[in-house]
Amino acid sequence: MTEQTETTPGWLAPEDLESVRGQLPILYIDAVPVRVDETGVVTRIGTLLRIAPDGTVSRALVSGRVLHHERVRDALLRHLEKDLGPVALPHIPASPQPFTVAEYFPTPGVTQYHDPRQHAVSLAYVVPVAGDCRPRQDALDLVWFTPDEAASPMVQQEMAGGQGVLLKQALAYVGALP
Amino acid sequence: MTEQTETTPGWLAPEDLESVRGQLPILYIDAVPVRVDETGVVTRIGTLLRIAPDGTVSRALVSGRVLHHERVRDALLRHLEKDLGPVALPHIPASPQPFTVAEYFPTPGVTQYHDPRQHAVSLAYVVPVAGDCRPRQDALDLVWFTPDEAASPMVQQEMAGGQGVLLKQALAYVGALP
Amino acid sequence: MTEQTETTPGWLAPEDLESVRGQLPILYIDAVPVRVDETGVVTRIGTLLRIAPDGTVSRALVSGRVLHHERVRDALLRHLEKDLGPVALPHIPASPQPFTVAEYFPTPGVTQYHDPRQHAVSLAYVVPVAGDCRPRQDALDLVWFTPDEAASPMVQQEMAGGQGVLLKQALAYVGALP
Amino acid sequence: MTEQTETTPGWLAPEDLESVRGQLPILYIDAVPVRVDETGVVTRIGTLLRIAPDGTVSRALVSGRVLHHERVRDALLRHLEKDLGPVALPHIPASPQPFTVAEYFPTPGVTQYHDPRQHAVSLAYVVPVAGDCRPRQDALDLVWFTPDEAASPMVQQEMAGGQGVLLKQALAYVGALP
């Protein structure tokens, strides 16, 4: 047990997380950040951009673990602030009902989602953000797409692990799937 | 046909609406205005207060017809602005999926909802409002309740036509039914 | 008023329906019939086939009006039995919450759905059917597709009025959008 | 490691589960078994009855862990068969969208749900069952209630950990909350 574990309830030492990953499904959240107009119509979808050292571009949704003793809505807020910055002003949904549950399996093909590291089960939400988004982590930029662009093969093929499908499911949920 | 009909597309002359009401289900929206904290937890539920000439108090949700050639989300915004004022800043849901469909029948007992005037089918949404609410119509005031108060027999018995049940369904949907 | 009107409550004479169609949104249901395995996975999606006199093939979902004084779930059952026959054994959803609300506008482009005859607002449900399906109406046949086939351009282009998009939304809702 | 662990992928030795329980939220499912009529109306809700050695009666929903490398829908089927027997014929939902997410915290009061043993996050589904239900585990019987009975104080006070609230949420979801 490290000092950090004691001061961060729910935080798990990397070596412990590793050993747990082969034994239990790990609870995640996926958040699809969107811009909406005053009638709630989704006008833009935010995706995180990552450029690998070899120049490969990949895109991802806001995603992360739910910690021990952390509510799902607190996990949503924490991951959105971590990836979009402290003044993104996300509108966390009032209802805990996710638009879908994405089951990432370590074995490809069991579901549409795949995570080679673990069996992760992710509650997926569409989250309107009203403020300024300033990606805080070095390797990440944030790019806003129209619904049509987000569903296009170009964007879809840059998303890994089935997150492209998850993005299309989010578009379907908000009535914006082309 | 009155002048108003010509300038208000979708508006129906009262005598025409009356004749249609016995022939078709009429499409409505119900909106449950709520205050939420930064994690989306519902802290207050808004109900409209009406005091009849005989002193009877009744409470209602924001409710009204969807007009011809009007989108559901535009009807939501219109009725919320009509009842809560122009600076209520409602967050109209991004998804058209309602939390339930309330079927108000002219005959009591067919469903939990009753409207002696008509067969109305209402799409029901929970709508967080961020701004100042100033009820504009003379007979209406707006009262904010905690979830526990909103589900209490005192408030429930002041709601008519099954809107008390609809309010409890909204509380269940946001995880705040006591 | 015809005799049929008297014996069929909620039924509207064609000339009356015509006059109403320009004045009010008309309430519809859309049902996506599916075959599921014992774990609920959708294996097939049913579409109705119509061949026009000129040989044009078009496909449609089960769709139709909700009548006056008819519950939404009764309308679902009625239209499913009308199109799939009396022994289709549809599992009407326990919850009235539709997976989406499809707004068919007479003007193209307002939403993704279009109906030149009217402004129809349709509550859309996925309905597993367990029995034998025998299309009863002369011009209709029923074809079962895999999810991949249903989302393919070939099938999509044979669906009109936005029902192809609605079918993809249904696939997204059940986690089967490719 | 026992033989059972090797032959039952995802199964966790009790001592390992114990050590994990303080470190991560554990993924669960809750299923509310219901009887429905041909239009999908819920007529009865099934609850499991447990009589403690001291004669205390408690009631519970079908509930249990999702195992490593197990789909949520397979976990639903497994727990329903375990508690209701092999010929209950549950209609597992086609959509993975739960009607709510119940967060059981080891600390009372954080949410409406409480589990002194662990932080469990449970995906909650309403599941119609069509066949014969024969509870297989010794201590359990199955009792079917009408919606009104299920929401009554008598039944509610016999349910622990917030499952009474969860049952009322299920009733709200199917439009049967009194």
Q: What is the pLDDT of residue B139?
A: 59
The CATH number of whichever domain residue C81 belongs to comes to 3.90.79.10
Contacts of C110 in chain B (CB under 8 A): 69, 71
pLDDT digits (tens, 9 = 90+) for D116-161: 999 999 999 999 999 999 887 655 789 999 999 999 999 999 999 9
Neighbours of chain D (3+ CB pairs under 8 A): A, B, C
Chain C: residue whose CA lies nearest to B108: C69
Q: Residue C47 CA to chain centroid, in angstroms? A: 9
Q: Note down the domain range covering D149.
A: 23-173
Angle in degrees, CA D128, D132, D133, rounded to 5: 75
Q: What is the pLDDT of residue C142?
A: 92
Angle in degrees, CA D138, D140, D146, rounded to 5: 155
CA distance B107 to chain A (A): 32
Contacting residues for B150 by C-beta, under 8 A, at least 6 apart: B45, B47, B167, B168, B171
Q: What is the pLDDT of residue C135?
A: 84
The answer to whether residue D11 sits within a structural domain is no
Chain D: residue whose CA lies nearest to B178: D165
The answer to whether residue C6 sits within a structural domain is no
**Can you tell me whether residue D89 is helix, strand or coil?**
coil
Residue B175 to residue D168, Cβ atoms within 8 A = no
The answer to whether residue B88 sits within a structural domain is yes
ipTM rounded to 2 decimals: 0.90
Angle in degrees, CA C36, A24, D138, rounded to 5: 70
**Euclidean distance between the first and final Cα of chain A, in Å?**
50
Residue B42 to residue A99, Cβ atoms within 8 A = no
Residue A77 at interface with chain B, using a CB cutoff of 8 Å: yes
Would you say D104 and D114 are in contact if contact means Cβ atoms under 8 Å apart?
yes
Q: What is the pLDDT of residue A17?
A: 73
Q: How many domains does chain C divide into?
A: 1
Residue B111 to residue D173, Cβ atoms within 8 A = no
Q: What is the pLDDT of residue A61?
A: 96
Contacts of A67 in chain D (CB under 8 A): 24-25
pTM: 0.92
Contacts of D173 in chain C (CB under 8 A): 95, 97
The answer to whether residue A15 sits within a structural domain is no
Residue D173 at interface with chain B, using a CB cutoff of 8 Å: yes
Contacts of C99 in chain D (CB under 8 A): 95
Q: What is the pLDDT of residue D6?
A: 37
The answer to whether residue C117 sits within a structural domain is yes
Of D40, D73, D92, the CB nearest to C92: D40
- Write out the H or E segment, with its range, that includes residue A163: helix A163-173
Range B78-94 average pLDDT: 95
Contacts of D168 in chain B (CB under 8 A): 172, 177
Chain C: residue whose CA lies nearest to A103: C175
Taking 80 as the threshold, does the pLDDT of residue D22 lie above it? Answer: no
Would you say A69 and D105 are in contact if contact means Cβ atoms under 8 Å apart?
yes
CA distance A36 to chain C (A): 16
The answer to whether residue B178 sits within a structural domain is no
pLDDT digits (tens, 9 = 90+) for B103-153: 999 999 999 999 999 999 999 999 999 999 988 765 578 999 999 999 999
Taking Cα atoms as reference points, which of B129, C175, B126, B93 lies closest to residue A124? C175
Taking 70 as the threshold, does the pLDDT of residue D40 lie above it? Answer: yes
The answer to whether residue C17 sits within a structural domain is no
Would you say B73 and A39 are in contact if contact means Cβ atoms under 8 Å apart?
yes
Using CA atoms, how far residue B129 sits from B12, B28, C59, in Å, is 29, 20, 42
Structure tokens at D45: 């809700």
The answer to whether residue B17 sits within a structural domain is no
What are the two backbone dihedrals, phi and then psi, of residue C113, each rounded to the nearest 5 degrees? -115, 145
- Write out the H or E segment, with its range, that includes residue D30: strand D26-36
Angle in degrees, CA D78, D84, D85, rounded to 5: 75
Give the pLDDT band of residue A2 (cuts 50, 70, 90).
very low
Range D71-82 average pLDDT: 97
Alpha carbon distance B137, B141 (integer Å): 8
pLDDT digits (tens, 9 = 90+) for A100-123: 999 999 999 999 999 999 999 999
Range A78-90 average pLDDT: 95
Residue D72 at interface with chain A, using a CB cutoff of 8 Å: yes
Of A24, A27, A123, the CB nearest to D20: A24
Q: What is the mean pLDDT of each run of 10 residues along chain C (178 residues)?
A: 40 70 92 98 95 83 96 98 94 98 95 94 98 78 96 95 97 97
Alpha carbon distance A46, D174 (integer Å): 34
Looking from the CA of C137 toward its CB, the CA atoms found within 13 Å total: 14
Q: What is the pLDDT of residue B20?
A: 75
Residue C100 to residue A165, Cβ atoms within 8 A = no
Looking from the CA of A55 toward its CB, the CA atoms found within 13 Å total: 0
Token pair 């996506």 is found at: C32
* Average model confidence (pLDDT) across chain D: 90
Residue D43 at interface with chain C, using a CB cutoff of 8 Å: no
Of C20, C71, C105, the CB nearest to B103: C71
Residue C110 at interface with chain A, using a CB cutoff of 8 Å: no
